[in-house]
Amino acid sequence: MKIVTFIKDNNRAPRVGALLNDDSEILDFARAIQYENANLLAWFDIDGECLKQATSVYNNIAENQQSLNNAREEGFLIARSEGHLLAPVPRPGKLICIGLNYRDHAAESNMPIPERPVVFSKFTSSVVAPNASIILPSTSEQVDYEAELAVVIGRYAKKVPRNQAFDYVLGYTIFNDVSARDFQFADGQWQRGKSCDTFAPMGETIVTIDEVADPHSLSIKLRLNGETMQDSNTNQLIFGIPELIEFLSETITLEPGDVIATGTPPGVGFARKPPVFLRDGDVVEVEIERLGILTNTVIAAEKAVSKFALS
């Protein structure tokens, strides 16, 4: 199942659903089960009744043409073209990132291979949708890209052993850990340089865990204006998803809708010779096997509109 968060028409209230019929239609979960939940994160809870019921309806519709027709007549489906996709988790409870988690990326950064996961966070206000703009801060000249596989947590997790970690995963999405390197290196810590507005593009969908046989064997690429800048595979991760969930949940309670970005492969802009940084008018595409493509444009701050969060 490909879970999406979307808005329809002029209604700015985000809704959660799933793509159907070769991704041409969206099943509106709330309409399908006649349940409106003001807490958007509740739709990502594997143990919650609303996701259980919505999944049951989805499976029935996906497997039965008559059920699909009935759902369309009942108004449970909308054409994808009528919905505007947001980030699949527009405001995660926690947005946890892992640094230096590909061996080659650690080497290109002139950093030793970490002995344990390098953990940092991005403010969740930096999350933006597929096809939204990455806004270049007027005071930064070194904004960089980072293609990443992200994990969406699907149930409360505390002290989870690695052999049970996948039981706590809802699915996977594509993430771009945009970073202002001049802020990052000048500050001596990463929070500001990683958390500027629009610096966490995510999406287009959450592909549920049952549709990805092995998340540690996925091609991951980033293209800048059509040129491939990063080209690797998640089999190069130093710490895999089970190790990360075990490590984090030892002291941090993970909750439904939390997002873990697992790190970026080599080829980032600041490590290139000469360095390559994002510029006004650039188009950035992150492609991960089985998950699709996340596309965002880049725009200078003086050209950007002030309201970006749901764009």
Q: What pTM value is reported for the model? A: 0.96
243: CATH: 3.90.850.10
Q: Give yes or no: residues 158 and 280 share one domain.
A: yes
Q: What is the pLDDT of residue 12?
A: 75
pLDDT score recorded for residue 310: 45
Same domain, 67 and 159: no
Q: So what's the pLDDT on residue 306?
A: 54
The residues with which 120 forms a beta bridge, in sequence order, are 97
Q: Do 46 and 189 fall within a single domain?
A: no
Q: Are 122 and 268 part of one and the same domain? A: yes
Residue 309 lies in a domain: no
Residues of the chain with pLDDT under 50: 307, 309-311
Number of domains in the chain: 2
Residues 183 and 271 in one domain: yes
